[in-house]
């Protein structure tokens, strides 16, 4: 993979400036969240809401750095949670905004507390709706069920495809026919589907046809329709006109309030991971740079998805300097990627990976006793503010109680 130029959308906020001058004084590894890019993303999302009447939620599973929630709440409707802790975080940090929650299954010992925080509760199955629905309805909650339209539009990311064969996510039409009674249906205020992952509006257009074909007869009875996440709305080449056409048509045809709950779109291209070279090793003439950042610990989607993260370079390499970048852990597969660089690397060099605000700070870990990176915010003024610092105690206390 070639390095990314300063003109790349991933690094555009840096304005072509030298990362070592911007971030060189920060301890590495560390994450940096760009406040200005968060605002620009939210402004684009707010413009979609204004033109279509839809409501957009922050999916906290992708980005839950709540120091940015006051900014985000200026633009978005609220938060989407995957369980109790995220629901509580959304309520505490965006107290005047909506809190929606979906879980593949709710725990009995947590549900009463969820009722304290959530406004909308989405169930994964008729059985869960039957178990918890009446209790939630008596507490004034708006209830929905997640459907599975069995319409896969993804290629190459089966791990993130809720419509893959045998998926546990969402109720299929055949299960609906077997288990959804009229009494259960009367509890519902909305229908939810989430089938996309980093996709454009054309995939949503295909999906909405499948939703209408299999569940369209029930939509006029609903108050809202939640189209889930995976919409790359803030990507430069995203088809906004098509998205807006779909949203307006759905709202008018079925008389529903439409919701979207993207996570990536809120923080797309809004974060960096700063790291330094610890050593250069050779294996059969292959150059390998060992960094103080780990794919396995600090950017786990690199291995899980997998993908090669963008690396900042002032210009693309011509193949003269090819180097594999890897982490310091004992995992042989702790490899970030192979890059064509503009220069040979040396010990102490600062490197900058892009698009590191999403699925990083919320998914990282301390495998091998690796320290968690500090989290910094780059304010719109350019000022750097440390949001969080981690050390040995954070590693130790995850494994046992304080004595």
Tens-digit pLDDT profile for residues 51-94: 999 999 999 999 999 999 999 999 999 999 999 999 999 999 99
Q: pLDDT, tens digit, for every residue of 86-122?
A: 999 999 999 999 999 999 999 999 999 999 999 999 9
Q: pLDDT, tens digit, for every residue of 193-249?
A: 999 999 999 999 999 999 999 999 999 999 999 999 999 999 999 999 999 999 999
CATH class of the domain defined by 53-267? alpha beta
Cα–Cα distance for residue pair 400/397, rounded to 1 Å: 5
- Return the closest-CA partner of residue 153 out of 103, 192, 104, 210: 210
Residue with tokens 């009446």: 134
Strand 224-226 and strand 257-260: pairing?
parallel
Report helix, strand or coil for 259: strand
Does pLDDT of 378 surpass 80? yes
Give the CATH number of domain 12-34+270-397: 2.40.37.10
Cα–Cα distance for residue pair 273/357, rounded to 1 Å: 8
Give me the half-sphere count of Cα atoms (radius 13 Å) on the Cβ side of residue 316.
Answer: 6
Reported for 314-320, long-range contacts at CB under 8 A and 24+ positions apart, including other chains, are: 314/5, 314/6, 314/16, 314/342, 315/3, 315/5, 315/342, 316/2, 316/3, 316/5, 316/340, 316/342, 317/2, 317/3, 317/341, 317/342
Q: Cβ(367)–Cβ(393) under 8 Å?
A: no
Cα–Cα distance for residue pair 43/40, rounded to 1 Å: 5
Q: Cβ(258)–Cβ(227) under 8 Å?
A: yes
Cα–Cα distance for residue pair 143/187, rounded to 1 Å: 7
Does pLDDT of 5 surpass 60? no
Q: In the chain, what are the domain boundaries?
A: 12-34+270-397, 53-267
Share of the chain above pLDDT 70, in %: 96
Range list of β-strands (E), 50-188:
55-59, 78-81, 98-102, 120-123, 142-146
Report helix, strand or coil for 152: coil
């Amino acid at each position: 993979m070639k390095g990314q130029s300063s003109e790349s959308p991933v690094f555009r906020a840096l304005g072509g400036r030298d990362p070592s001058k911007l971030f060189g004084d920060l301890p590495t590894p560390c994450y940096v969240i760009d406040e200005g890019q968060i605002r620009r993303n939210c402004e684009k999302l707010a413009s979609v809401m204004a033109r279509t009447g839809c409501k957009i939620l922050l999916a906290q599973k992708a980005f839950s750095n709540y120091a940015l929630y006051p900014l985000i709440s200026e633009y978005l409707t609220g938060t989407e949670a995957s369980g109790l802790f995220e629901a509580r975080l959304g309520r505490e940090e965006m107290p005047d905004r909506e809190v929606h929650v979906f879980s593949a299954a709710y725990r009995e010992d947590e549900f009463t507390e969820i009722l304290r925080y959530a406004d909308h509760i989405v169930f994964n199955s008729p059985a869960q709706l039957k178990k918890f629905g009446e209790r939630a309805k008596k507490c004034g909650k708006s209830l929905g069920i997640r459907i599975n339209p069995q319409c896969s539009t993804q290629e190459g990311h089966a791990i993130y495809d809720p419509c893959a064969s045998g998926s546990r996510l969402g109720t299929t039409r055949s299960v609906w026919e077997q288990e959804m009674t009229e009494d259960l249906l009367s509890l519902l205020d909305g229908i939810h589907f989430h089938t996309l992952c980093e996709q454009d509006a054309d995939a949503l257009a295909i999906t909405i046809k499948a939703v209408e074909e299999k569940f369209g007869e029930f939509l006029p009875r609903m108050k809202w329709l939640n189209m889930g996440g995976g919409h790359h709305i803030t990507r430069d080449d995203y088809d906004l006109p098509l998205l807006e056409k779909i949203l307006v048509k759905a709202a008018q045809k079925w008389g529903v309030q439409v919701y979207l709950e993207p996570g990536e779109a809120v923080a797309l291209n809004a974060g960096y991971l700063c790291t330094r070279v610890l050593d250069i090793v050779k294996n059969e003439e292959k150059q390998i740079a060992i960094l103080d950042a780990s794919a396995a610990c600090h950017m786990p989607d690199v291995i899980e998805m997998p993908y090669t993260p963008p690396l900042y370079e002032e210009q693309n390499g011509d193949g003269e300097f090819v180097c594999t970048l890897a982490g310091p852990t004992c995992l042989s597969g702790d490899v970030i990627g192979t890059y064509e660089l503009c220069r040979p690397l040396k010990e102490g060099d600062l490197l900058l990976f892009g698009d590191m605000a999403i699925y990083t700070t919320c998914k990282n870990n301390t495998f091998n006793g690796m320290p968690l990176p500090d989290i910094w915010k780059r304010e719109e003024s350019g000022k750097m503010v440390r949001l969080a610092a981690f050390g040995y105690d954070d590693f130790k206390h995850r494994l046992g109680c304080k004595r």
